[in-house]
Structure formats: C-alpha cells, structure tokens
Structure 1
Amino acid sequence: MKIQSLGYILVETKNLSAWDHYGQEVCGFMKHPDFSDEEKLCLKIDHEPFRFLVQNGPEEKFILAGLELEDASALNDAKKTFDELNINYQQLSADDLFTRQITDGISFNDPAGNLIELYHGRLNDETKFTSPKGISGFVTKDLGFGHVVYAALNIEETHDFYINVLGFGDSDIMNLQMSPNPEDPKMKLYFMHCDNKRHHTVAIMQSPTPPSGLVHTMVEVKTIDEVGEALDRAINNDIHISSSLGRHMNDKMVSFYMQTPGGFDLEFGYDGDQPDWSKHQTTSSPAPSYWGHVFTPPPEK
C-alpha cells in the first residue's frame, strides 16, 4: 500500500466561533465561503477545498485524519488487504464523501484506536486561497498539508501496522528520558513517512491517548517571518504557547507549538527537511531539538 499524503483532519467542537477566530485570526487560514455553514467550518490553506473540517458536536476533540491514496485501484487494493488480514473497515456514506469533498473512501481504526480514513479523488476547488493574515502560502501539494502525532500505548503493535499494513517507512526513532530518574523507562517515538518527501506524515508516541484525541498536528509556511508573525498573533490573542520556538533535530523544522480550541496542539513551522528516501537511513535522534522547544503545560482550569 502507498499512502500519498495527509489530506485533511476532522475536529469536533462545541464552539465553532472559537475555531473560526483561531483559524483565521491566529493561524491565517481561510474560511471557505461555500462549504462552511452553521454546522461546520471548513478551513482552507491551499488549492484543496479545505484541510481542517471542524463540525458541531458534544465534545472538544480531534476525530480523525484522512490519508490520500492515488486512485480507485489503490483504494480497492487497500480493501483487499484489509479483507485478507481481517481488519474491519466501513465504507464512507454519500454524505461523508460530499462533506469531505472526496470521490470514495473507507474508515478504520489503527491498533491504538485512532480513527483513520483512506480516500482517493479530492474534488477540485476553484476558490483561490487568500490568507486573511497575508501568509504567502503553506507548504503542501505533493507533501500533503502536514503531519499528525498520535499516542499509542501499544506502540510496537501500532508501529507494525503502519509499516507492514499501510506501507509507511521509518524516518527517525527516539527514546526519550522524560523522568528526572534515569532508572525510569524511556518513552519511545516513531516518525514515519509515506510516499512523499515530507520527513514524517504520521508519528506515534508511547503514551495514553490524551482527552483531546491527538498529541499534535502541523502546518508549514514558507518563511521564518511568517512563523514569528503567527507566534505574535497567538500571544496577542491569549493562545497558550505549548512550546517556545525551536529547531527539531530529526526533521530540522523551525517551529513553535500552540494549543488549539480542541485541546490538542498545532505545530506552526518552517524549513522542514525533505529527505531523498532512496538514500535515507533511519536515524535515532538523541533529543527532540537542537535548541528551543521548551514545553509548558497549559494552566489548570
């Protein structure tokens, strides 16, 4: 199986207006004028109809990620693979397909319980992306819109699923000492790429799933100034800064992290590495970052 890219995420919220303000005024995303309504907010960052689909619901949480396949044949092959391995999946309804602006797709859970959709055929959108905050553009196209990081206590089983069923490859592996006691076990993280040059499209970390449903997702802009300006906007709008500015060791991304209205984090970055997979050997980074990325938990409510 060859996953092409991360296509979209779906988020549930009790407060669409909070996401509307966050998406447009802080992140510089564009509210799609045709697909957004009283029940959903479609946030556009490029040529595709949208990358963030935020729907009204009873909770504040991340729901799922959509992973793109090349065509109908690739989706049929994925179904055959799942059937052979007795992996349960559901066909997306006509309403689901229309809401996501895709041709066809299925949904399933990974071994850690994370809900995923495989799809093909994103519909064309003639509405041009114009950032309300003047962002020149996000780094997307063949790379997809960014990455997602999931929690997985059963990390080896989940890793095996992504590698041997979904066809991802290992980019980097970390074993981090999170406790001041060196005798305590380390936390493992796998960073995995699909069939594009983004360093990782999915990562999994060895921890319980947070109440928000996701550790973080990421978007990438084209200049360091646009990262700094987004950081200013976040601070000026009283958004919790989960991590200070820093440069990651594995994908070289210069970024900061901020909390979304859904409780999970959004990494806002620049200058991510694009490895040549024909020459790449899986790395083992000894630390998350060369500098910066000082994490601060959100204040207690």
Structure 2
Amino acid sequence: MSDNLNSVFGNVHLGYIVIETEKFDDWKRFGRDAIGMHVDDLAHDAMRFRLDANECRMLLRRGPAEDVIALGWQIDHHATFDEITRRVADHGVPSTKGSDDDAKLRGVERFLRFPGPNGLTQEIYTTARTAPMPLNIPSSGFVTGDGGLGHVALTTKNPYLVRGYFDHVFDARLSDYIDETINGLKLKIRFLRVNERHHSVAIASVNTLPVNPIRTRVQHVNVQMATLDDMVDSYQRVTRLGFDMALSVGQHTNDKELSYYALTPSGFEWEVGWNPIVVDESTWQPTTHQGISIWGHTPEGQTVVDKLRQFAIAARSLTHRENAVTPLAEPPIYDD
C-alpha cells in the first residue's frame, strides 16, 4: 500500500461493470422487468442498464463468456488517475487507452484498462456522462453516490494476492472477515472497501480446494435499492417472472444489509439489497463474524453451497486457472 500522502482511498468508486453474453432477451427481462433497472438498447451487440443519472452502470456486449469481464472504477481527480496509472506502469503491467467508441459505450469521456485478478479487466475513468432522459423504472430508485454502483464478490485460490492487488492499486481497506463452514469446508471471506461503502469487493477464499469451483469470474454483483418496499417489490417480480432465486431474503452479519440473491441469465448471482451500514473511518475496526447471515438467506435454487458440494465429485476434472497479476499483488502485511 502507498503512503498516506499518495493514498487514493476515498477517491475510487465502482462505476460500471461489463458483461459478455449472448442472452440479450433474457437479460432484458431480468434486468428491466425483474430487477427494475432502466434499459437502453444501443445496437445489435450492445445494451446498457442505468440505475441513476449516469449513462451506463452495466454494459452488455455480445459474446460467449456469459460472465462479467471488466470492472469500471470512477476516479475523483486527474491526479488520482495519474497516481493509479503510475502504480500500474511502475510494476511493468501493461495498460491501454480505451478507444473513443468503447468510451462512448461505457458512458465515459476516456478510460484506461489493465489486467486484474480472476481475469477481470480493470478500467479507470474520471468523468461519467449523464443521460439526457429520466429513468424509466418501477421503483423510487437505487443508491449509488459516493459509495458507487454496489459491490462484486469473487472466489479465489489466491486470497492474499487478490487482496494485495486491491490494496496496492486502490489502497483498499479491510472492513472485516466472515468465517463460514459449508458442508464441512471452512471458508474465510474478506471484505474490502475503497470508500464509505462497507465493501466494493468481497473475496471468498477457496485455497483449500484443488481448483476454484466457480466457473464465472464473479460469484455475485450487488445493487442497493432506495427503500425496503423497492427491494421487496423486486423480489416479487423476480419470482413472478420465473427467474431462479438463489437465496431468499435475509440479513448479513457484517454490513447488516437486507438482501436476496437471484440467478442471472449468465449463471452468476445478482444481489439486491437495502440499508447496509456506512463505514465511519474515525471509529471502524475490522472484526471477524461467524456465518454470513443473521437470519434468512436460505437456498431456493442452486447456490454456491450446492456448487461446493458438487465440487467434491467434479473437482479433478476442472481446469479453472486464475491469473493473480502478481506484479501488482503485493500481499498485505497483516492477514490470516
């Protein structure tokens, strides 16, 4: 992690995600009709979802991955943008400027991309374009602002390196841990924040397994509704439209968010939540929680729990490989 004078913490916000999929019709039903996001059809091979005034919060590109392929991070100042760019370059990691066409699709003025953990390309930008038309959504809105879009969760056999990557590139801070036991398997989940949101990245360690059991680069994506009624209404739409529910409504132990998890058309999960705590930097101390939920979050379909159980049989045939981008993945000094 850099020294405090050059810290970028608080000036970084998860701005958008890029999804590659062939299932545009299914995603439109899921994103617009079920979750309740604003949709913009751009062309045969591109579609966007909006949550707020920004032109783009989720960009869907046509392709075979059925996965999140990139994370876009909004950077508050050009000096911070330059600092992150320097960190990447100083460690010999290649970066490329996004084309004007790609920037337009993402609703940003310019962006820089470079490799990230789990094959997730990282993209940084300073200025998001705002949409001229108001949102067309069935709820009172989503919570973004200083906390950014929401969060992503991923599984990895290299938790120290993945945490080290986000520590080094974005000066991420550890919010807390959750220890969870699933079918006799002990898991430790690390929650990292880059601003006031309790976490923008969650890292579930599967380093006791032969390979990573999750096919997709992310295990889930989270968005936050403005009111409890909004969250409940979206849960009912997901169920009514026949989409699989991975976990029913429940409350997390660490950030206290009420949420549910639906299964996306691409196979990863989509968490819709309400009212997580906001971190107070003057008083916050990392701690360890036992179990992911205070109540609820019971399985209603195939979840990471089911996949881990199946993994005991199928592990030897899997070939999931991870790229930890080790030049940028300096392991944190204090971890366990």
Report the TM-score when normalising by structure 2. Answer: 0.82
Q: Which amino acid aligns with 2:19?
A: V
Are 2:263 and 1:253 aligned?
no
Report the equivalent of 2:25: 17
> What is the Cα deviation at residue 283 of structure 1?
1.8
> What is the Cα deviation at residue 68 of structure 1?
1.2
- Superposition misfits of 4+ residues, deviation over 4 angstroms: none
State the distance in 2 between where 1:241 and 1:112 align: 25
State the distance in 2 between where 1:252 and 1:38 align: 40
8 Å CA contact 1:150, 1:209 repeated in 2: no
Are 2:89 and 1:83 aligned?
yes
Report the equivalent of 1:229: 233
- How many residues of Structure 1 are paired with residues of Structure 2 in the alignment? 291
State the distance in 2 between where 1:147 and 1:292 align: 20
State the distance in 1 between where 2:147 and 2:239 align: 29
Report the equivalent of 1:48: 54
> What is the Cα deviation at residue 296 of structure 1?
4.3
Q: 274, 291, 295: which one pairs with 2:295?
A: 291
Report the equivalent of 1:110: 116
Secondary structure in structure 2 of the residue aligned to 1:102: coil
Report the equivalent of 2:65: 59
Secondary structure in structure 1 of the residue aligned to 2:199: coil
Are 2:282 and 1:278 aligned?
yes
Report the equivalent of 2:315: none
Report the equivalent of 2:203: 204
Secondary structure in structure 2 of the residue aligned to 1:121: coil
Are 2:102 and 1:96 aligned?
yes
Q: Which amino acid aligns with 2:202?
A: A
8 Å CA contact 2:118, 2:217 repeated in 1: no
State the distance in 1 between where 2:21 and 2:116 align: 23
Secondary structure in structure 2 of the residue aligned to 1:235: helix
> What is the Cα deviation at residue 151 of structure 1?
1.8
Q: Which amino acid aligns with 2:191?
A: F
> What is the Cα deviation at residue 53 of structure 1?
0.8
Provide structure 1 residue ranges, at least 5 long, that are not aligned to the other structure.
none
Secondary structure in structure 2 of the residue aligned to 1:103: coil
8 Å CA contact 1:61, 1:264 repeated in 2: yes
State the distance in 2 between where 1:142 and 1:222 align: 14
Are 2:151 and 1:152 aligned?
no
> What is the Cα deviation at residue 4 of structure 1?
2.1
User: Cα deviation per residue 1:199-248 (whole Å; 9 max; x = unaligned)?
Assistant: 11111111326223210011111221222111111111111110011000
Q: Which amino acid aligns with 2:187?
A: M
Report the equivalent of 1:30: 38
8 Å CA contact 2:81, 2:124 repeated in 1: yes
Residues 51, 111 of structure 1: alpha-carbon distance in 2 compared, 3 angstrom cutoff = closer
State the distance in 2 between where 1:271 and 1:103 align: 31
State the distance in 1 between where 2:21 and 2:124 align: 23
Secondary structure in structure 2 of the residue aligned to 1:247: strand
8 Å CA contact 1:104, 1:119 repeated in 2: yes
Report the TM-score when normalising by structure 1. Answer: 0.91
RMSD of aligned residue pairs (Cα, Å): 1.8
State the distance in 2 between where 1:244 and 1:58 align: 29
> What is the Cα deviation at residue 111 of structure 1?
4.0
State the distance in 2 between where 1:135 and 1:292 align: 24
Report the equivalent of 2:190: 190
Secondary structure in structure 2 of the residue aligned to 1:129: coil
% same residue = 26
Provide structure 2 residue ranges, at least 5 long, that are not aligned to the other structure.
1-7, 207-211, 307-336
8 Å CA contact 1:112, 1:153 repeated in 2: no
State the distance in 2 between where 1:272 and 1:292 align: 16
State the distance in 1 between where 2:158 and 2:119 align: 10
Q: Which amino acid aligns with 1:28?
A: G
Secondary structure in structure 2 of the residue aligned to 1:198: coil
8 Å CA contact 1:6, 1:146 repeated in 2: yes
Q: Which amino acid aligns with 2:32?
A: Q
State the distance in 1 between where 2:300 and 2:172 align: 31
State the distance in 2 between where 1:10 and 1:268 align: 18
Larger helix share, 1 or 2: 2
